[in-house]
């Protein structure tokens, strides 16, 4: 059974505490995958919260460009947004697909034949998948699995996942016809491919989700909207499926007035279906033990 460490304390100290509970020392050059947030969004992880943790790892903030039109679908403009949102104030920022992409195999699943990552992905010895938990217009919710699939994918890779393997064109992917469940499963397949690739290369990755400012919309939306739930805390695990399952379980257990809005968003997009499918691919377990630290 997977172990998920949890703190109610959404502070730099709480973040450091759940990371240390994992008992992992990340070697060499460490990439910290966050969402830099679309220009105009409010919910992205802030410098004062994550800065001390990233500095302690001598980590590099890593991102890839978006497939949708906006301020972050071009590396130069994306870097400007990262600076505006405070990320360059405490770390180097690397837009990993600024110079192209690499193709990695997808060994398991029924939609994707490969995955496309930013070409700088191989410049890192270890990763932290540092997600902000929230709702999402297309995936229902965003946490570690989305951050590992859509997040690590290059601009073309995002288009490939969104179209469920039909096209890698950012222009064509939005008119590609597919069922919603196919998209949810495609995200799981891409996330599994990243985990398999890292395991083959003996590069560790850890998973942390900060569950604060919980909005129905995603940090990738300029008009994200205000939070509908109070802070739940921070969860950390070596298992991304367990970590996402713990996040979902806390939303379903919440009596917060806005929790129903978030539950409706998630289920209307079949968001929870990513968890058993990812488990069936061997990415992790939906069963876990929660340990408060």
What are the pLDDT tens digits along the chain (293 aa)? 999 999 999 999 999 999 999 999 999 999 999 999 989 888 899 999 999 999 999 999 999 999 887 778 889 999 999 999 999 999 999 999 999 999 999 999 999 999 999 999 999 999 999 999 999 999 999 999 999 999 999 999 999 999 999 999 999 999 989 999 999 999 999 999 999 999 999 999 999 999 999 999 876 766 677 889 989 999 999 999 999 999 999 999 999 989 999 999 999 999 999 999 999 999 999 999 999 99
Buried b / exposed e over 280-291, threshold 16 CB at 10 Å, is ebebbbbebeee
Count of structural domains within the chain: 1
Structural domain including 15 reads: 2-292
Residues 156/168, Cβ–Cβ less than 8 Å: yes
**Contact assessment for residue 242 and residue 284, using Cβ atoms and an 8 Å cutoff:** yes
E-assigned strands of the chain?
2-7, 30-33, 60-63, 93-95, 101-105, 114-118, 126-132, 134-136, 140-142, 205-211, 233-237, 288-292
3-state SS assignment for residue 208: strand
Q: Domain containing 111 — which CATH number?
A: 3.40.50
């Amino acid at each position: 059974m997977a172990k998920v460490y949890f703190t109610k304390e959404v502070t730099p100290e709480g973040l450091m505490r759940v990371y240390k509970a994992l008992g992992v020392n990340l070697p060499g050059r460490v990439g910290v995958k966050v969402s830099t947030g679309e220009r105009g969004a409010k919910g992205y992880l802030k410098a004062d919260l994550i800065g001390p943790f990233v500095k302690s790892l001598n980590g590099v903030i890593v991102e890839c460009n978006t497939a949708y039109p906006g301020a972050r679908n071009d590396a130069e403009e994306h870097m400007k947004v990262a600076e505006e949102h405070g990320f360059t104030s405490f770390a180097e920022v690397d837009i990993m697909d600024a110079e192209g992409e690499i193709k990695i195999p997808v060994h398991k699943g029924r939609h994707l034949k490969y995955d496309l990552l930013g070409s700088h992905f191989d410049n890192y010895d270890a990763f932290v998948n540092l997600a902000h938990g929230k709702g999402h217009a297309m995936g229902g919710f965003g946490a570690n699995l989305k951050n590992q699939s859509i997040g690590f994918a290059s601009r073309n890779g995002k288009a490939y996942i969104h179209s469920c393997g039909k096209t890698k064109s950012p222009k064509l992917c939005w008119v590609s016809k597919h069922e919603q469940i196919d998209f949810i499963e495609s995200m799981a397949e891409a996330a599994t491919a990243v985990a398999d690739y890292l395991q083959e290369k003996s590069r560790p990755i850890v998973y942390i989700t900060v569950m604060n400012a919980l909005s129905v919309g995603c940090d990738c939306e300029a008009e994200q909207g205000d939070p509908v739930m109070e802070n739940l805390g921070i969860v950390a695990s070596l298992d991304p499926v367990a970590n996402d399952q713990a996040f979902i379980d806390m939303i379903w257990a919440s009596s917060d007035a806005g929790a129903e809005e978030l539950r409706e968003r998630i289920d209307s997009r079949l968001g929870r279906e990513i968890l058993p499918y990812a488990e069936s691919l061997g990415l992790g377990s939906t069963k876990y033990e929660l340990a408060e630290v």
